Amino acid sequence: MPLIEVNSKKKETQLIKEEAKRLGFLSCGISKADFLEEEAPRLEKWLKANMHGEMGYMENHFDKRLDPRKLVDDAKSVISLLLNYFPSEQQEADTYKISKYAYGQDYHQVIKSKLRELHAFIEETIGEVKGRAFVDSAPVLDKAWAAKSGLGWMGKHSNLLTQQHGSFYFIAELIVDLEIDYDHPVTDHCGTCTACIDACPTEAIVQPYVVDGSKCISYLTIELKNEIPSSFQGQLDDWIFGCDVCQDVCPWNRFSKSHQTPLFNPNPEILSMSKKEWEEITEDVFKKVFKGSAVKRTKFSGLKRNIKFLE
């Protein structure tokens, strides 16, 4: 494919955003690859307070988390992208619950594939551009970059929020050595609302915009490898993989629309399983139902531990 003549950063930016939309991304924002000055003290304070629990990896690569130029040589731009995962159907009301993002295929592979396509498009249309794709699998502060790129603001539950789509979407990045037009952050629209803080079953949102990860149900059911502390008995609200409570109660999520990514469509068995079926699940059924799913992260033993804790 011949290179398209591009005469300006504005044109290059437009082409990239149009291709991102064609690939199915909800939105695309771009920011300068620079040191995250505001996030540095926040991250340090959060780690010193041990709010990362047993997530020891959060202490690693501190500098890389704050400076994308340490991840990609001569990085100039961080291209942030959102991909909707809000489902058209949800689980039965009276059953054990898994987070909506895990209904379908593991998002890592789905998004990585799209990012590779976007990178290939950039090279075909603009020329050689070095870069790396990131999907929740490297020391990158996804939400901070998305906010810096104008894709939304950080809500009081520490998730990225947008007025148009709420918060049910994945965040990914393409960090490149191409200088293009940069977007600007948007204003915070949480106002006086405290719905997420009030609804959190484990009171993990210790103050607006600060989440104690070691108390979060998502951490307890996925990241925590040891036994769930007995102090959380009766507080998990039937969640066995992840938790959506703070997002479900957020007023901005009334604007969520169903995703258009077939690979994120749920396995019907996930939606229809009763509590009894969850309690009696075998390893063979687990492998069949969650083949290619993010739920495999907690493994069969982890899922059984979570269910047992709730019985």
- The dihedral over CA atoms of 10, 135, 164, 159, expressed in degrees to the nearest 10, equals -130
Q: Which of 254, 242, 282, 285 is nearest to 267 (CA)?
A: 285
Please pick, among 34, 73, 106, 136, the residue that the annotation labels catalytic: 136
Work out the mean pLDDT of the chain and round it to a whole number.
94
74 noted as active-site residue: no
- What is the per-residue pLDDT across 196-208, written as a single tens digit (0 to 9) for each? 999 999 999 999 9
Q: Around 222, how many Cα atoms within 13 Å sit in the side-chain half-sphere? A: 16
Mean predicted confidence (pLDDT) in 180-208 = 97
In degrees and rounded to multiples of 5, residue 242 shows phi and psi of 75, -170
pLDDT for the residue numbered 5:
46
| Separation of alpha carbons 256 and 244, rounded Å | 14
**pLDDT tens digits along 234-266:** 999 999 999 999 999 999 999 999 999 999 999
Q: State pLDDT tens for residues 133-163.
A: 999 877 899 999 999 999 999 999 999 999 9
Domain boundaries, the chain: 9-88+101-176, 195-258+267-310
Helix, strand or coil for residue 267? coil
For the segment 3-15, what is each residue's pLDDT rounded down to a tens digit? 444 458 899 999 9
DSSP, collapsed to helix, strand or coil, labels residue 229 as: coil
Both tokens of residue 58? 């959060």
Residue 7 has a pLDDT of 58
Query: What pLDDT sits at residue 284?
Result: 96
* Residue 171: pLDDT over 80: yes
